[in-house]
Structure 1
Amino acid sequence: MFEIYLILVTCFLLPICFLITNNLIYIYHQLKSLKQIEETTNPMNIDNKHILYIAKIYIHRKKWLDCITILEFYMKQIKINEPIILVQYYNYIGLCYQSVNIYKIATKYYLKAYNKAPFIKQTLKNLANIYKLSGDTESASKIYYQLNGLNENKDI
């Protein structure tokens, strides 16, 4: 009887230990990356992929203001040559505003991303979603139609 008890307890605790270990490893990698970025001598020399990684960490931790602040700071300080990076910045800022239910500002940033690169699916999805949340179903259906057109062209 005692062996069955041990087997049941082990079966229950193993998945929990696995999940906790995965989360600890994830947090360790986040802290390691943040420490490496923090140790850079010139904050203007931080690579865009590191800035986006920090933004993802802040979004995951639901620190919306920190995410918006860092992205806005680097957008104004650094001349970004790649429009794809700028579109990602705008999408992340829009996501932060959307998460705190400030739909007008989120729409503004999604539209900026759309104007920079109108054929990126994630931007179109974000824009359609924010229109839907705002109650503008007509604009949302136009964006969904455009998104469906992109999906059909991809299959050809």
Structure 2
Amino acid sequence: MLKIYLVSLMIFLLLICISSTITIYKIVRKNLYIINNNLSHSKKNIQVEKVLELAKIYIHQKRWLSCIIILEKNVTTKDKFVAIYYNNIGFCYYSLKIYTLSEYYYHKAFQEKPADIVTLCNLGQVYKKNKKYKQAITMYQKVLQLENSNHIAQKELKILLKT
């Protein structure tokens, strides 16, 4: 009986060790990627894909200010991904509950790409947070004009029209 207990305990502890090792490996891999890219910041702007990948990691880790810095440093008006940069910066400020700056960057993303559904939904959400209900309704209506089956816009529009 004691042997079964000890074997069970060993298997359980082995599974915990494996799980911990995998988690630590993932963290180390992400941090090495961040460190390698931070070293290349001293050079010229890093490639767009790397910037967006690094921003994605920072967002996943909820390192909002680091994400904002890397995106603002690398945003250029000539870049075709500028709307994505602005959208991500807006998301970071939204996550920090700085809704006025979030609105500013979402609006810049909207100026770059006015038919982007994600940007329109984000603008609608931040307008709602800033109690600009008419503008939020307008954004959600634009979403429905582009994609009439968008459930998020339908739901938010119903809520806003009730207020």
TM-score, structure 2 length as denominator? 0.72
CA 30–92 in structure 1, closer or farther in 2 if over 3 Å, else same:
same
2:89 corresponds in structure 1 to 93
2:79 corresponds in structure 1 to 82
Structure 2 stretches lacking a partner, 5+ long: 151-163
- For the residues of structure 2 that align with 1:129 and 1:72, how far apart are their CA atoms? 22
2:129 corresponds in structure 1 to 133
Q: Structure 1 vs Structure 2: percent identity of aligned residues?
A: 33
Q: For 1:37-68, what per-residue CA distance to the aligned partner results, in whole angstroms no more than 9, with x for missing partners?
A: 24548531410111122222222222222221
1:112 Cα shift?
A: 0.4
CA 82–7 in structure 1, closer or farther in 2 if over 3 Å, else same:
same
Q: For 1:89-138, what per-residue CA distance to the aligned partner results, in whole angstroms no more than 9, with x for missing partners?
A: 11111111111221111101100000000111111111111011111221
TM-score, structure 1 length as denominator? 0.75
1:87 Cα shift?
A: 0.8
Moved >4 Å (runs of 4+): 1-11, 16-22
Structure 1 stretches lacking a partner, 5+ long: none
2:155 corresponds in structure 1 to none
One-letter identity of the residue aligned with 1:68 = I
Q: Which moved more, 1:114-123 or 1:25-34?
A: 25-34
Query: How many correspondences in the alignment?
Result: 149
Which of structures 1 and 2 has the bigger CA Rg? 2
| Contact 2:45-2:74 at 8 Å conserved across structures | no
